[in-house]
């Protein structure tokens, strides 16, 4: 079982995040494009923001694409686990996974920030909602991994579409890049989130799953791997235009971070950037290059 979440113990297990299906700027226009990334895996964890289920304008299309992704996994013999993100907070009942007997903690990453998306136009209202949800869960010393992640999910669910100032783009990749990087008031919070996320993820795992030897997140769309206080932190990036994306592969005591390359609109596993022994603690990266 995968952290008690119903996933087989067979390997390899692959981890992807931030496909953002039904987003006009997403590089994934249909599930089949991801087939080479899933082929040969016993299981796959889709670590949040798999589809744009939060926006009524594209929710039907996003739900259809998720169904198509499930069908693809079934055809390939790959067992999928969908974890909630801030763009799809109701895609499943699961906020995290703990494969490799708890040696790896996988969660989307939006819970690391008090305002969920520091770069977003909804950050102020999300900070209020998130604070209210955390307060409902009592003394911070009594928070658990599940309750901490649930608070972030409920904050996203409580953000009504009518309240949201962030809406799905009417244009594709160029508008997306301009929105995130061309406006100084948004670019600075993006850069700050890239800088802070690895350390925040390591602190989070150390508190809520101290047995973990690695933590895998997405959310900030900045791919890379870091060693923080003896813990390997991996961000799998996104399938939106930007810095890129990574594939994490777990296989019998080893975590591998791999490039993802695109060929004729399909995405394939690429070179191995990092190997980490997750059978013992602390982890021992054999390669430390981030890009």
pLDDT digits (tens, 9 = 90+) for 117-168: 999 989 999 999 999 999 999 999 999 999 999 999 999 999 987 455 455 5
Does 285 reside within a domain?
Answer: no
Over residues 221-233, mean pLDDT: 97
Instruction: Please check whether residue 32 lies inside any domain of the structure.
Output: yes
- Is the residue at 1 inside a domain? no
Q: How many structural domains compose the chain?
A: 1
Tell me the residue range of the domain where 23 lies: 13-277
The pLDDT value recorded for residue 166 is 55
User: Does a structural domain hold residue 180?
Assistant: yes
In percent, the amount of the chain with pLDDT more than 70 equals 85
Whether 282 is in a domain gets the answer no
Q: Please write the tens of the pLDDT for every residue from 165-199.
A: 455 555 554 455 555 555 667 888 999 999 999 99
**Among the listed ranges 98-102, 154-158, 257-261, 280-284, which one has the minimum average pLDDT value?**
280-284
Q: What pLDDT is recorded for position 169?
A: 52
pTM of structure: 0.90
Confidence of residue 282 (pLDDT cuts 50, 70, 90): low
Residue 284 lies in a domain: no
pLDDT (mean) for 19-42: 97
Evaluate whether residue 153 is within a structural domain.
Answer: yes
Three-class DSSP labels, the chain: CCCCCCCCCCCCEEEECCCCECCCCCCCCCHHHHHHHHCCCCEEEEECCCECCCCCCCHHHHHHHHHHHHHHHHHHCCEEEEECCCCCCCCCCCCEECCCCCCEEEECCHHHCCCCCCCCCCHHHHHHHHHHHHHHCCCHHHCCHHHHHHHHHHHHHHCCCCCCCCCCCCCCHHHHHHHHHCCHHHHHHHHHHHHHHHHHHHHHHHHHCCCCCEEEECCCCCCEEEEECCEEEEECECCCCCCCEEEEEECCCEEEEEEEEEECCEEEEEEEEEEEECCCCCCCCCCCCCC
pLDDT exceeds cutoff 90 at 1: no
- Residue 288 in any domain: the answer is no
CATH number at residue 42: 3.60.21.10
More confidently predicted of 284 and 69: 69
């Amino acid at each position: 079982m995968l952290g008690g979440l119903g996933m087989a113990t067979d390997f390899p297990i692959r981890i992807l995040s931030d496909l953002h299906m039904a987003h006009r700027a997403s590089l994934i226009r249909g599930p089949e494009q991801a087939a080479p990334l899933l082929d040969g895996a016993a299981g796959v964890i889709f670590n949040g923001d798999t589809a744009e289920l939060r926006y009524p304008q594209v929710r039907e299309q996003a739900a259809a694409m998720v169904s198509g992704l499930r069908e693809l996994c079934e055809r390939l013999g790959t067992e999928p686990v969908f974890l909630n993100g801030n763009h799809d907070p109701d895609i499943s009942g699961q906020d995290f996974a703990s494969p490799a007997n708890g040696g790896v903690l996988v969660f989307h990453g939006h819970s690391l920030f008090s305002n969920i998306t520091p770069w977003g136009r909804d950050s102020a209202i999300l900070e209020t909602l998130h604070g209210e949800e955390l307060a409902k869960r009592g003394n911070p010393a009594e928070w658990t991994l599940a309750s901490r992640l649930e608070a972030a999910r409920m904050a996203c669910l409580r953000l009504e579409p009518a309240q949201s100032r962030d809406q799905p783009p009417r244009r594709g990749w160029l508008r997306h890049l301009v929105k995130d990087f061309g406006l100084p008031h948004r670019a600075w919070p993006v850069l700050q989130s890239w800088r802070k996320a690895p350390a925040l993820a390591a602190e989070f795992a150390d508190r809520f799953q101290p047995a973990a030897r690695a933590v895998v997140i997405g959310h900030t769309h900045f791919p890379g791997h870091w060693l923080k206080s003896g813990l390997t932190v991996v961000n799998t990036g996104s399938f939106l235009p930007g810095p890129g994306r990574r594939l994490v592969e777990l296989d019998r005591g080893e975590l591998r971070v791999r490039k993802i390359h695109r060929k004729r609109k399909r995405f394939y596993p690429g070179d191995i950037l990092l190997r980490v022994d997750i059978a013992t603690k602390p982890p021992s990266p054999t390669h430390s290059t981030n890009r």
